[in-house]
Chains A and B, each alone.
Chain A
């Protein structure tokens, strides 16, 4: 059957993230054996009042978190076991709290590096209260087919492989947590399975001794043999040998101990676990323990292979004597598979997931992002600039060097235009009000629209229309007058033929230098020629020039305001930083700049008179 922990136990877990992980492991085991989750509560002061969602099959179980053990066991009096999964500086107090709870009879602590003094105090408290303290440094306790305390037993695949979902005839008790898992596997391969596996922990003063466990196994009629694995250091192994030899015992013991290599190691060297050190005069040496085992009548294997054979022999004897039935290995397919999360199922290729988003421009799944297929670091290493990134992410292709030069010129020419324009002014007002950078710059960008920076797209749209429809200039202007109004991209408040916009001149000069065909720009310039005959200030403005040439490069019209957004982000960020540097005071509108065209003071009439 089992010792220490059983199917009906209800377990409190004291601990935060580590404790939650332990609960997940225990829930997996309960799912495997077809029992409900047996962790009714956590104790973890930082999260008191919250709930933890513990995965159980395809569902989640909401589990409350309390600030104290007292509160937890008051709300859940069925709790009879507690696990300690907090750090070494708090673990001692946590275990004391659990031992003080009337209904808790077993406390198991995984915490390593618990001070020896704290361990001694816990041992005393457990003795005084008649309870069981398991640990410190215990990996946990697992009863086959019944109960799992903590993370012992590995992941779900290991539980299935090791057939830990059913009970067996072999008890296991080890100091080392890793060896406990290993022996469970050996028992599964060569015997009929585990009754209970107990990790004592490798500290100098474990709460439970080998003798404590062996006495329980001796009383458990379902356990017929025990595999015991000890270590150099201390005397617990010798005490177990004395116990076994002191009177006839029902259970067989396979005993193994490590640490023979200590003879060739520097004297006093500590290795493995805290307790695994020979005393200054050689006390607790492995060879002495091995002799004690043999003298007491233990079966002492020379290797793990031999241990496996011993287990197989014992199992055969148990079958022949009728104490156990022949083992029937259940087909792995019949064991309840642990449901996968959707993410796991997709990555394992079990399901075809309907996608939510399709991206054609950036793939970050590898070591670095690919911009339309090109690795970012490789672009940088080969001299590509930000304008090429714009081409890859906005157009999906590499720009030619000529196109790149024009994009770079546009960004430079439009980065800023002083503090008075509406976008910069908005950013500055926000900055002076203490608004953070991102929000202030975003406020400035919100001003980009039909009358400020937003004409690029419209200009592109209509000039492109003119070219696509193969219109003559007069025909285009008549069309615009009838259907749209003023031509976007034409006209400036200040600049004119006799006072040209140097930004436009610079851009046009750059485009001519590159020498690629520009039908939309040519059309726009033809329009300008006509409109300036009517009025001198109806020139092609910077929005119009940008829109035309970018359209010639293949950028879709709806993308073109993006250039203004991108460029002005630099300017607005500059304005924000500038105001921050100067420690600007809050900006408020001066009253004399407002014409208050409002009625003078009036008497409010009684409501009922209306």
Chain B
């Protein structure tokens, strides 16, 4: 799954025949001023300014602002771009045409990927308070492979509580949503709110959240955008550099910066979460999330190691992993050792940082021996083989602190 920012979501909706407001995307006030000269409708229309990030509940966070003229629009842009709270930073805004509509005509629809097919949700009470009115949301389950029946959709619209005169219009709208969902390999599509224009008999999607399946990129050459980090902030330089390596190599390397005293360098997606759980249970705080798996090349593991071990203020590093199926432990450990040495040569990883290692798998005996040898180079390192339980090194790392 990958979150798509609003501008790209609106482009895709237009592609599938769903009407959206006109919009521009800007990274700064100066850029917006330049665009407003090119797009006269920006001066002639009432506008709404939103943070252009995949953050849930932007309205409640004050990241959606209604504007009456160009000056208040410029003020709103400045306010949103300077937002800095709850570890949320905004680097981009989207300025949309504020389609006139009544609050009573803010409706909710979403499509969710499920094991047996997709679930369609619909409610006449949408907008910022949709969750307060969740009991008004109706659900329609559509099985995998089932043909989408317009009449069934129209009945569903009626069951959801919409007026009879909107059934055909909304039936068609939902049909387009479902077709888009399937055609674009979406995993989540939420239109909140959408409205029906007075007299024009047209449905307009005013705001949307769209998650696409990154795994399906191979059949979507028109997906020329990247996916958002998905948790409320842009990627840091370090995170992006590891992601670039991840895209190049066989296997996988992952890195996300957090703020804590314990660094994690785990092998495998499953073990990484158990080790993170163990750190939290022991009372530590996570300095990062990381993972390597699928037998990546040693230079990629070395690069990941450098990022993890260079984090400022860490007290301990957990280098753990389960018994590997086919990842060559000796090779990946060679990458880790290389990364450790490089970080140390830059003046970090002194005696105040302890390192805890546990692993098994192909070539484990030589790998663990080589890892243990670097103690002689001044690393404060403890190395354990498969006979030590997976998360014991975390318990030991924290037990040592008490002494």
Contacts and interface: CB of A to CB of B under 8 A. Distances in A.
Whether A associates with B in a native complex is yes
B360 A185 contact: yes
A305 B286 contact: no
Interface in B181-239: 182, 185, 187, 213-216, 218-219, 230-233
A93 interface: no
A609 interface: no
A151 B325 contact: yes
A258 B273 contact: yes
A264 B56 contact: no
A178 B115 contact: no
A271 interface: yes
B286 A261 contact: yes
Interface string B314-344: 0000000111111000000000000000000
Contacts of A89: 218-219
B157 to A, nearest CB: 24
Nearest to B131: A281
A153 B323 CA distance: 9
Interface stretch (B11-19, B35-43, B277-285): B277-285
A260 B323 contact: no
A272 B274 CA distance: 10
Contacts of B71: none
B276 interface: yes
A116 B277 contact: no
B277 A258 contact: yes
Given A88-B218, A115-B185, A304-B389, A174 B270 contact: yes
A88 B269 CA distance: 19
Contacts of B254: 271
A202 interface: yes
Contacts of A152: 325
B216 A115 contact: yes
B248 interface: no
B398 to A, nearest CB: 13
A120 interface: yes
Contacts of A205: 113, 115
Interface in B242-281: 254, 256, 258, 267-274, 276-281
Contacts of A265: 231, 258, 286, 289
Interface in B363-392: 386-387, 389-392
B345 interface: no
Contacts of B387: 189
Interface string A282-304: 00001000000000000000011
B187 A116 contact: yes
Nearest to A256: B274
A343 interface: no
A320 interface: no
A259 B273 contact: yes
Nearest to A119: B115
Interface in A83-119: 88-89, 112-117
Given A120-B144, A305-B392, A276 B215 contact: no
B325 A139 contact: yes
B325 A272 contact: no
Contact of A117 (B115, B182, B256, B273): B182
A479 interface: no
B313 interface: no
Given A178-B268, A272-B273, A115 B213 contact: yes
Given A139-B325, A204-B113, A304-B391, A177 B270 contact: yes
Q: Which of B256, B271, B281, B323 has the most CB of A within 10 A?
A: B323
A445 B390 CA distance: 66
Interface in A367-388: none
A123 B269 contact: no
Contact of B285 (A88, A264, A305): A264
B286 to A, nearest CB: 7
Contacts of B322: 178-179, 181-182
B293 interface: yes
Given A270-B1, A303-B389, A304-B391, A261 B279 contact: yes
A182 B271 contact: yes
Contact of A124 (B145, B230, B277): B145
Contacts of A189: 387
Contacts of A21: 326
A176 interface: yes
Contact of A268 (B87, B231, B269): B231
A116 B389 contact: no
Contacts of B267: 178
B66 to A, nearest CB: 25
Interface string B144-157: 11000000000000
A121 interface: yes
B277 to A, nearest CB: 5
A230 B379 CA distance: 35
A178 B321 contact: yes
B293 A178 contact: yes
B246 to A, nearest CB: 12
Nearest to B187: A116
A537 B386 CA distance: 85
B158 interface: no
A214 to B, nearest CB: 17
B280 A154 contact: no
A308 B388 CA distance: 11
Interface of A: 21, 88-89, 112-117, 120-121, 123-124, 139, 151-155, 157-158, 161, 174-179, 181-182, 184-186, 189, 202, 204-205, 229, 231-232, 258-261, 263-274, 276-277, 280, 286, 303-305, 308
Given A115-B213, A178-B324, A304-B389, 11 more contacts: A115-B185, A117-B182, A120-B116, A123-B115, A174-B270, A177-B270, A182-B390, A189-B387, A204-B187, A265-B289, A268-B230
Interface of B: 1, 56, 87, 113, 115-117, 143-145, 182, 185, 187, 213-216, 218-219, 230-233, 254, 256, 258, 267-274, 276-281, 285-286, 289, 291, 293-294, 321-326, 360-362, 386-387, 389-392, 395
19 contacts: A112-B294, A115-B215, A116-B185, A154-B324, A154-B361, A155-B361, A157-B362, A178-B324, A181-B325, A182-B323, A182-B390, A185-B360, A258-B277, A269-B231, A270-B230, A272-B270, A272-B272, A303-B392, A303-B395
Give 9 nearest A-B pairs by CB, closest first: A176-B270, A178-B268, A266-B231, A182-B322, A115-B216, A179-B270, A304-B389, A258-B273, A113-B215
